[in-house]
Amino acid sequence: MIKVSGLTKDYGARRALDKLSFDAQQGEIVGFLGPNGAGKTTTMRILTGYMPPTDGTAIVAGYDVVEESIEVRKRVGYLPETVPLYTDMAVFDYLKFMGELRHIPNVDDRVDEVLEMVGLLERADGYIGNLSKGMRQRVGLAQALLHRPEVLILDEPTIGLDPGQVVEVRELIREIGKERTVLLSTHILNEAQNICDRVLIINKGKIITEDTTENLQARLIGGERVMLRVRGESDELAATLKQIKGVQSVEIQEEGAVEFSFASGKDMRPEVAKQVIKAGYDLLELRPVGMSLEEIFLELTGADNKK
């Protein structure tokens, strides 16, 4: 369980967090989605007891992060943004050392278990310094899981991982999230949608919106956006599209490629395909496009963000 209220953090004159409030329950995976400098890492450092807030309170696993930070640390697994690892230690030895610091019983078995979970059992005896970036990230994740923490705080857990590992780590997080509380940060909307039950969008130290991933998708997109690619001229193609009833906001992307949208619940793709072919084009591609994080911020913050 995480409960944050009115959390504020100033770094000198710069306000990094501005009265942030949210909570996360057991069995819930909450995503922190926001651009560079939004305040994600700052919040996570406060929640793990590594740094005090300037104002406001945070309760993690039932303890106050300022007053009872030792109790908090016992119950929290933290994957920091940059994982501090001892490069001249073997993977197994490092995790065993971390496990001993945490007084974990049967530490050897537990280290094997977490290495298995993150797919690093084969590299157990190798030096951390010889691991690739993605593998080091997984050692960091193993370290965060070691003491079976009630709350997991993961700062960009899939950054630097190859696509296969991204899928595996996401599955692992989903599994862990069934019984624990997970807060993870990401820049990637798709990632938030893939793993999280609920998403908090944060920008400039404030939560702009909070919703389930499904609702968020529906709210933000409001309609479907589709990319159409043909062999032929974009100007003419755009003109053809504009004549089709139900097609909105046609935008030329590049030669032969145009994006358009339509109100959700009324899939215009079959009609568009028919009309485009009837007009004599070779249809090459017709696919839905998601909104980028930038577009979502503009949508949510309006003129405020368009500097």
Ligand X SMILES: Nc1ncnc2c1ncn2[C@@H]1O[C@H](COP(=O)(O)OP(=O)(O)OP(=O)(O)O)[C@@H](O)[C@H]1O
* Residues lying near ligand X in the complex (CB under 6 A): 11, 14, 16, 34, 36-42, 81, 187
Nearest approach, Cβ of residue 6 and ligand X (Å):
17
Nearest approach, Cβ of residue 223 and ligand X (Å):
29
Nearest approach, Cβ of residue 53 and ligand X (Å):
12
Segment lying near Mg ion (by CB under 5 A), choices 33-41, 93-101, 192-200, 298-306: 33-41
Query: What does DSSP assign to residue 39?
Result: S
Task: Pick one of Mg ion, ligand X, none as the site partner of residue 288 (Cβ within 5 to 8 A by kind).
Answer: none
**Contacts of 204 by beta carbon, 8 Å cutoff, 6+ apart:** 18, 37, 38, 39
Task: Pick one of Mg ion, ligand X, none as the site partner of residue 39 (Cβ within 5 to 8 A by kind).
Answer: ligand X
If binding is defined by CB under 5 A, does position 160 make contact with Mg ion? no
Rounded Cα distance between 11 and 17, Å, is 9
Binding-site member from 26, 41, 57, 193 for Mg ion (CB under 5 A): 41
Rounded Cα distance between 162 and 55, Å, is 39
Identity of the residue, 40 or 180, whose beta carbon is nearer to Mg ion in the bound complex: 40
Burial class (CB in 10 A: 0-12, 13-18, 19+), 36: exposed
Query: What does DSSP assign to residue 251?
Result: E
Identity of the residue, 131 or 153, whose beta carbon is nearer to Mg ion in the bound complex: 153
Q: How many CA atoms lie within 13 A of 294 on its CB side?
A: 2
Residue nearest Mg ion, CB atom distance: 41
Identity of the residue, 153 or 230, whose beta carbon is nearer to Mg ion in the bound complex: 153
Q: Are 107 and 100 in contact (CB under 8 A)?
A: yes
Nearest approach, Cβ of residue 131 and ligand X (Å):
22
**Contacts of 135 by beta carbon, 8 Å cutoff, 6+ apart:** 120, 123
Segment lying near Mg ion (by CB under 5 A), choices 36-44, 100-108, 111-119, 165-173: 36-44
Rounded Cα distance between 73 and 153, Å, is 11
Identity of the residue, 29 or 38, whose beta carbon is nearer to ligand X in the bound complex: 38
Nearest approach, Cβ of residue 82 and Mg ion (Å):
9
Segment lying near Mg ion (by CB under 5 A), choices 34-42, 119-127, 242-250, 285-293: 34-42
Largest CA distance in the chain: 72
Cα angle 156, 94, 147; round to 5: 65
Identity of the residue, 38 or 117, whose beta carbon is nearer to ligand X in the bound complex: 38
| Locus of tokens 């959700």 | 264
| Interface positions, 76-95, toward Mg ion (CB under 5 A) | 81
Task: Pick one of Mg ion, ligand X, none as the site partner of residue 36 (Cβ within 5 to 8 A by kind).
Answer: ligand X
**Contacts of 131 by beta carbon, 8 Å cutoff, 6+ apart:** 91, 123, 139
Nearest approach, Cβ of residue 203 and ligand X (Å):
9
Identity of the residue, 154 or 172, whose beta carbon is nearer to Mg ion in the bound complex: 154
Q: Are 192 and 164 in contact (CB under 8 A)?
A: no
> Which helix or strand (DSSP H or E) is residue 93 part of?
helix 91-101
Task: Pick one of Mg ion, ligand X, none as the site partner of residue 86 (Cβ within 5 to 8 A by kind).
Answer: none
Identity of the residue, 37 or 129, whose beta carbon is nearer to ligand X in the bound complex: 37
Alpha-helical segments (H) within 118-233: 133-145, 163-177, 189-195, 213-221
Binding site for Mg ion (CB under 5 A): 40-41, 81
